[in-house]
Structure 1
Amino acid sequence: MKIIIHGGFFSESDQSTEVKTAKQDALKEIIEKSYSYLKDNSAEETVVYAVSLLEDDELFNAGTGSQIQSDGKIRMSASLMNGQTQKFSGVINIQNIKNPIEVAKILKNEDDRVLGGNGANQYAAEKGFEQYSTETQKRREEYEEKLKNGGKGTVGCVAIDKDGNLAAATSTGGKGFEIVGRISDSATVAGNYANTFCAVSCTGVGEDIVSNATAAKIVTRVTDGLSLKKAFDKTFAELKEINGFAGAIAIDRDGNIFHQDSEPTMVFASFDGSELEVFE
């Protein structure tokens, strides 16, 4: 059993040492809780659990604390993929939901498994999800002052359970101040992908991740026989060719954990039951 989570990027230029420490502490607490949960639950259930904890922490740009778009509203996206069943489910630009990843979870049982905008909102309401404001004072202040230093705050989790099953989940509040209708990578296979060989969750600039098909490329290359490291090396070399900004976390079927970012510093933590690693 192994697990790795990410919480976007940290920039020394626009965030304080106090915020950095707070994020490190939060990731430690969340990954330890999630690993304990993994002991008695599947990889799929665990990645949803971990991402929901990240969504609930306003330090991260997903769920509570999501970025505000150009029209002053918050729209969020999230997705889930089970490596064994090969089912991908997600919501795009959903509003006023505390945990978008939970909506993605129940969508996996539907024939239509990716919903966007009003359709996603209506589906969540029909399934009993309560209306919830994810706006925080900090995000409102950023919006009002038109600060443009967001866009790299997606959260995600990849896990392998005791039976060797892999799963990945990703959630985002967007990049902030985006054009209404913009779709991020988080609810696409470019940003969140898994099969029986490997599972990957990405963060960074969604347009770059989609252009590079980052998560799907890494998983496909591992499936075709490359090591996890070589799959990352090749995919991130291609990302560099388009001056892409991204980070990714992954676990392969042998339990190897890997993470990489195109620029410092991706916020992440990994745990295998004995060794805990947290970004510095």
Structure 2
Amino acid sequence: MADKVEPTIVVHGGAWAIPDALAAASKEGVQNAAKRGYGVLHSGGSALDAVEAAVCVLEDDPAFDAGYGAVLNSLGEIELDAVIMEGSELKAGAIAAVQNIKNPVKLARLVMEKTHHCLIVGKGANMFAKEMGIEEVPPETLLTDSSKAEWEHYKKYQKTVSDLFRTRGSESSNSHDTVGAVAVDAQGNVACATSTGGITAKRVGRVGDSPIIGSGAYCDNAYGAVSTTGHGEAIVKVTLARHVLFLMEQGLSPQAAAQKAIEHMFQRVNGTGGLIVVNNKGEIGFYSNTERMAWASLQSSTLQFGLEPGEKIVQEYTPE
């Protein structure tokens, strides 16, 4: 276990061509999530509790594609995926293709803590939710006018997945994307969580990277924690989250590892996306090759956040 460190949390609200109409809400949303997660750390809570709390804030925010505000599949239905992991014993839990759970990350944590499995999907995940007493909500309560409008647009014009995750300088898209959080607590324990509603008009039953351990998220107390976002198929092919920690094992800083991993994904599979990372000393990194990525971090009295490539706004913050 690492020496005692300054508790730190980093969150993201997706790497994609975030339109101007969502820019302010995306910035505000990731700041709110970082503050909630840091509040857990500041009061002595664990990194695992912190990332769960932060992701719940993002799942409840309609500016993002997770929980409330999730996008629709080809049949006009919601299918939600989530993962959570802790770095001490490498325990992890994930769910996929769930349609009526308000906060999928909570269900993923129960998979980790109450079963011997790592991933439960579809009908089985809903059966498990009932066993655990997780409230099911009517799927329509998770819909937003924006999600429905996007679905109608993509069904009409048959947009392809390449339109969703354009590289910098490309035409803007109206799709949303994944959310996630990474944290390290005062004891040096790390944790990560990722949650998503997938891609607008995706094939029914399609699962991307988000709930896949090592792709959508990964952590290990020996190095740090990662949460990714972007084109799921590309991320899975290069096991992006685990690749970041591999680079850190080789001696790269969190920031250098983040950039090199994204560049590797683009070179190998023409993949676009982004990621956030924190190491077991509280040093952070973030990088994307999309037009924008909403992110925020909190450590001690310093709040940082950004949206544009290279943007880092620094503010003082006093925990309540």
Aligning the two structures, in what range does the TM-score lie when normalised by the shorter sequence?
over 0.9
Give 2:187's match in structure 1, choosing from 163, 179, 185.
Answer: 163
The offset of 1:60, in angstroms, is: 0.5
Cross-structure match for 2:38: 35
The offset of 1:239, in angstroms, is: 1.1
Name the amino acid aligned to 2:120.
L
Asked if the contact 1:75–1:94 (Cα under 8 Å) also holds between the matched residues in 2, the reply is: yes
Instruction: State the distance in 1 between where 2:122 and 2:36 align.
Output: 32
Contiguous gaps of at least 5 residues in structure 1: none
Flag as ranges the 4+ runs of structure 1 deviating above 6 A.
none
The offset of 1:180, in angstroms, is: 1.0
Cross-structure match for 1:119: 124
**Is 2:147 the partner of 1:139?**
yes
Cross-structure match for 1:253: 280
The offset of 1:100, in angstroms, is: 0.3
Cross-structure match for 2:265: 239
Say how many residue pairs are matched.
Answer: 277
The offset of 1:138, in angstroms, is: 1.9
Instruction: State the distance in 1 between where 2:204 and 2:305 align.
Output: 35
**Is 2:135 the partner of 1:130?**
yes
Name the amino acid aligned to 1:248.
L
**Is 2:235 the partner of 1:190?**
no
Contiguous gaps of at least 5 residues in structure 2: 1-6, 160-172, 308-320
Structure 2 length normalisation: TM-score? 0.82
**Is 2:61 the partner of 1:53?**
no
Instruction: State the distance in 1 between where 2:53 and 2:120 align.
Output: 21
Instruction: State the distance in 1 between where 2:260 and 2:24 align.
Output: 32
- Residues 196-224 of structure 1, C-alpha deviations (whole Å, 9 max, x = no match): 11100000010111112110111122234
Give 1:275's match in structure 2, choosing from 291, 302, 305.
Answer: 302
Instruction: State the distance in 2 between where 1:246 and 1:216 align.
Output: 15
**Is 2:44 the partner of 1:71?**
no
The offset of 1:152, in angstroms, is: 5.3
Give 2:100's match in structure 1, choosing from 96, 113, 119.
Answer: 96
Instruction: Report sequence identity in percent.
Output: 34
Structure 1 length normalisation: TM-score? 0.94
Structure 1 residues 150 and 186: alpha-carbon distance in aligned structure 2, compared to 1, 3 A threshold: farther
Asked if the contact 1:10–1:267 (Cα under 8 Å) also holds between the matched residues in 2, the reply is: no
Instruction: State the distance in 2 between where 1:10 and 1:228 align.
Output: 21
Name the amino acid aligned to 2:8.
K
